[in-house]
Structure 1
């Protein structure tokens, strides 16, 4: 099912599968800020990555002397969430562990995605609760894809990312879906990274040391764009499918396995440990203009 929330500035729509954001649309302008989800390039819009981010080495991990298998980015994006609450300006989705999830991920959990509209801003809050009597290990992150160009005005190369704090960015290369120690440093043009399709031909730019907590997607043709704000996400990914007209801005609490990882979940880089009965949350926001 599709659900919508709306105020005088923007309208946002979602589906219960993956609690996935599908559209962000300007009420007056009709501008669609989110990628159109063309399956010829990439058929998703804004999946949630849980309980892992990226790929596991050999698609497996070890925990308490047992071996488990999880697909890249985990299972939440392909599961049906319950709509716990909906109002004009807010919607709350909930996912709980099942017998099937416990076979591949031996932790009880409650995962909530809370979307809220405030003026021209949509916020997405991840709320994770541990209802068990043992510690819970997890990673979580966002993968929203924004349209470039907007309204078919201009071309992909008219668009750029403006960082609020970084003058250079250093990203890790991806080898067979895993994080390598090889890095490339890009010197930004007055804190701006101009988009080219070729930039992403070798996969995402995975950044471990980003200083910025805000990135704006803007263009040289008009004043339309978005500001994307994120706090306390230690990793950040930037990605687009080959020759597709979108850019993913991905705040992560967690990261794919490294090439030399020992495959022990407790030793996984960026893994979060949540105490019994503990609660955890992070929020990203997108403001449209």
Structure 2
């Protein structure tokens, strides 16, 4: 394992996927991340690149050719290079290769920069286009946080606190694709009580979220966390069936709609990065 730490938290990673796997409070010994139990879901915090969600028929078209790409893309399954910038900051990097160019015909450099500040961990997604043509991509986070924390209380003792929403309109997923069907969840002063049944159909997918901060809190005043994000136009909340975690997923991109024409340039949420340009987004989790 690879780690960075300070006097408040110790954070561990794997080089495969540059995946965040543990956030441990050094005083309380609270583990804030999901355990990765493969009986439910064997990941912790995969990076979604160069697509978010699934493609229609697991394929897309670009410049007259058809390419196949699995759900959430390939970055989460690839080995990243890394180096410690300091004891409290680490940089993971992945670049295009002959292997990636066969399924994704773009040159790129993808970096994940993790940095500690007090009891907070920030994750910065950095994408550079080294080529002479535009780079088309989507990217998103998928961190899974333990609920209940330290096995304190029940799942339903916990709730999500949205800082700017009174109700949530979410899109239903059909066969991994976004359907036109929408439903509304009414919040109680911004609170959404966690229940396993919320995720029995799949993730709750939001395209019009007003909030830029979601906290995981509980009615018993156990430990919790605050998740901050900005300029991510879509957001997902998900858990595997009956598993003791919840994923907070900021996305720049989204799964294909069921009627999508499969043209990459027309994909909802696709980002076009001009030659030699740099792009970044940041999310941050603060533990208490």
2:129 matched to 1:140? no
2:199 matched to 1:200? yes
Report the CA distance between 1:223 and its aligned residue: 3.8
2:104 matched to 1:105? yes
Aligned match of 2:14: 15
1:127-182 CA-to-partner distances (Å, cap 9, x unmatched) read 00000000000000000000000011101000000000000000000000000010
1:194-241 CA-to-partner distances (Å, cap 9, x unmatched) read 000001000000000000000000011124100000000000000000
Aligned match of 2:118: 119
Aligned match of 1:278: 277
Aligned match of 1:44: 43
Structure 1: segments with no counterpart, 5+ residues: none
2:238 matched to 1:239? yes
Q: CA RMSD in A?
A: 0.6
Report the CA distance between 1:109 and its aligned residue: 0.2
Runs of 4+ aligned residues of structure 1 deviating over 4 Å after TM superposition are none
Aligned match of 1:3: 2
Aligned match of 2:251: 252
Aligned match of 1:70: 69
Task: Give the Cα separation in 2 of the matches to 1:280 and 1:46.
Answer: 21
What TM-score, normalized to structure 2? 0.99
| 2:171–2:206 CA contact under 8 A, matched in 1 | yes
Task: Give the Cα separation in 2 of the matches to 1:110 and 1:66.
Answer: 23
Q: How does 1:219-238 map to 2 (within 5 A)?
A: 219-238=218-237
Aligned match of 1:60: 59
Report the CA distance between 1:87 and its aligned residue: 1.9
Report the CA distance between 1:84 and its aligned residue: 3.3
Task: Give the Cα separation in 1 of the matches to 2:283 and 2:200.
Answer: 27
Number of residue equivalences: 288
Report the CA distance between 1:86 and its aligned residue: 3.9
Task: Give the Cα separation in 1 of the matches to 2:3 and 2:83.
Answer: 14
Aligned match of 2:32: 33
What TM-score, normalized to structure 1? 0.99
Report the CA distance between 1:262 and its aligned residue: 0.2
Task: Give the Cα separation in 2 of the matches to 1:60 and 1:100.
Answer: 17
Instruction: Find the residue that maps to 2:282 and give its secondary structure.
Output: strand
Instruction: Find the residue that maps to 1:151 and give its secondary structure.
Output: helix
1:100-134 CA-to-partner distances (Å, cap 9, x unmatched) read 10000000000000000000000000000000000
Structure 2: segments with no counterpart, 5+ residues: none
